[in-house]
Structure 1
């Protein structure tokens, strides 16, 4: 009985934690959208303040980890090549992706952010093919799945970008239940904004697509960096490129945000939002995802990303002061289907690669066993 309960906890706890992570991400996204719309907070200023605080937390965490770990004799060696890679990681992962992402959010809605975020595997696959990092094996079921999933994701992104359809919920309170009406009235008084005007939707989608493409490039650079420098601590690299990305974003914001009053934080939730976003994005989410990947495997965490569509739809219907359309949800669901197909194709390719690797090892071991016998016969 104790073993059974332990196994259930090992299955249930990571699932609940990852679902909660996606829900918290959407709640913070809607909050950021509301503050930018109601208070006029600049997305560039928000990125600088958030990542400055996040970099500070990462520095403290990395310092404490270095002091508390047992093997204190190992030292990291930062070369010029590694500095260039960290500079590119900060540029693609923070400066470009974060600034364009929050700017695109100010023009659109959280559900469009979710839909474009699901395009990361598609962009990564297209980049790997264009850079000849992936083999064009049309007979492989994994490659076919990745191609079809990419096409489905692109169709879903076009749908969520261009098609609106009928309203799921309009901004006026129309529910027949009294307590739901009261909840929505309170939410609308708080001014929780979910979407922007229609004429800005396409602009927001293009900005979010560019941000997603930058994240895909960041993933490729990050994977290459970890392979080339396995002796360097991962958190040290994360801390270093976070600092570089914050400096780059600060320099960029000086040109894009020249209004001095935009840098003054208002004590009406902006400071609290920045602190919570820095703690959640810089420390909590990365630690939790790393823990779940170590426990359940590398594909466990990506499987929960489409849960953001569910939370965005629920919160968009019940806890926001703007309308939500069927077209947006339908396009996001189509993109999520393509996302799952690409992940399945990647899993299939990895399984095939592992099988081929095992076959090669067996052949090598068998040849090593046969060679001495042949030599003895010759002697």
Structure 2
């Protein structure tokens, strides 16, 4: 392997590891900001608003020179943008950030790792996947789903001893106005339910997204328009929930910088890297790095930030990570089998072409 070949392997790997590290760092910083008094609803609206403003012109620059025949503003696509915004932003992010508020960044990582398992369960419910026990890939996915669920449940019901305790300032955090009946921000079961809801919503979003990209194969433009739809939906939800006008006032401090950095990173940097790595390495390359978030959440939480961390969380996260890779392994096997069948159909059709030509010539 030459120098260029090594770079093709090292650069995507380094980029993906960096993306996961930055994602977890921003998640922990968001947790710290919310514990310091920032409303999760306000954070979501401001972040997505700025992200949408940045993403819309960037999406046209990203796909410049690409020409497709499918018109963008059709009723089916607009409905898809609406439901992608609803599932991928309005429901998923509000539940995720509220879940983050009531739990911890490592619990967010764990629940994120259950998304392939939840997606598999959703496909069984909607009968897009048949539970064929003769298929080795289905059996692997079932085992992986059970492992993922066990790991997530362990994180919720067993904390274990502290690796690091939260700082005293976190214990005096303010509460969002909708949930004032909770007496402490560290409500893991409630947070876990919210995060599980977010994972379910993301699974539905993934299903809608795959169909949308097939109809309109310019992912950055799709992302920009469903981002706008989701931002408007978040604004309506947040204005109904967060009625304290003081919560919407931003001061020129660390929180504003966090909103700006999160918006730029989420809308342009991470999305561009994910699309580029997917095109270079295939659809399974990017998801393989998601469990790296556990390592970063543990390391950052202990070394640099003030969030509490428990041994039970780390053990449960490792179990969930094993389940995640097991489900992905089953999915990979299923896709390879599907591709093999497609190749067989193409080869069989190619064999028939000369016969058809001979008939036409006669």
TM-score by length of structure 1 reads 0.87
Q: Distance in 1 between matches of 2:233 and 2:68?
A: 33
Cα pair 1:118 1:306 within 8 Å, conserved: yes
C-alpha RMSD of the superposition: 2.5
Q: Distance in 1 between matches of 2:130 and 2:347?
A: 24
Shift of 1:59: 1.6
Q: Distance in 2 between matches of 1:73 and 1:20?
A: 33
Asked if residue 347 in structure 1 is aligned to residue 344 in structure 2, the reply is no
1:56 paired residue among 46, 50, 53: 53
Shift of 1:17: 0.9
Asked if residue 129 in structure 1 is aligned to residue 127 in structure 2, the reply is no
Q: Distance in 2 between matches of 1:154 and 1:203?
A: 16
Cα pair 2:60 2:221 within 8 Å, conserved: no
Asked if residue 226 in structure 1 is aligned to residue 213 in structure 2, the reply is yes
Q: Which runs of 5+ in 1 are unaligned?
A: 173-187
Q: Which runs of 5+ in 2 are unaligned?
A: 174-182
Asked if residue 238 in structure 1 is aligned to residue 238 in structure 2, the reply is no
Shift of 1:266: 2.4
Cα pair 2:35 2:170 within 8 Å, conserved: no
**2:243 counterpart residue number:** 258
SS at match of 2:284: coil
Shift of 1:171: 4.8
Q: Distance in 1 between matches of 2:120 and 2:170?
A: 42
**Deviations 1:162-215 (Å, cap 9, x if unpaired)?**
11112223458xxxxxxxxxxxxxxx9999x9xx95851111111011011100
Asked if residue 104 in structure 1 is aligned to residue 89 in structure 2, the reply is no
Shift of 1:128: 0.7
Q: Distance in 2 between matches of 1:71 and 1:10?
A: 24
**2:179 counterpart residue number:** none
SS at match of 1:258: coil
Cα pair 1:108 1:197 within 8 Å, conserved: no
Shift of 1:364: 2.6
Q: Distance in 2 between matches of 1:197 and 1:160?
A: 19
What count of residue pairs does the alignment treat as equivalent?
A: 351
Cα pair 2:103 2:186 within 8 Å, conserved: no
Q: Distance in 2 between matches of 1:14 and 1:51?
A: 27
Shift of 1:370: 5.4
Cα pair 1:152 1:338 within 8 Å, conserved: yes
Q: Distance in 2 between matches of 1:316 and 1:31?
A: 10
Cα pair 1:152 1:334 within 8 Å, conserved: yes
Cα pair 1:76 1:233 within 8 Å, conserved: no
Cα pair 1:50 1:274 within 8 Å, conserved: yes
Q: Distance in 1 between matches of 2:58 and 2:69?
A: 18
**1:114 counterpart residue number:** 109
1:28 paired residue among 26, 29, 41: 26
**2:142 counterpart residue number:** 147
SS at match of 2:187: helix
Q: Distance in 2 between matches of 1:14 and 1:73?
A: 28
Shift of 1:241: 1.1
**Deviations 1:3-46 (Å, cap 9, x if unpaired)?**
611111111111111111111011101110111101x1111111
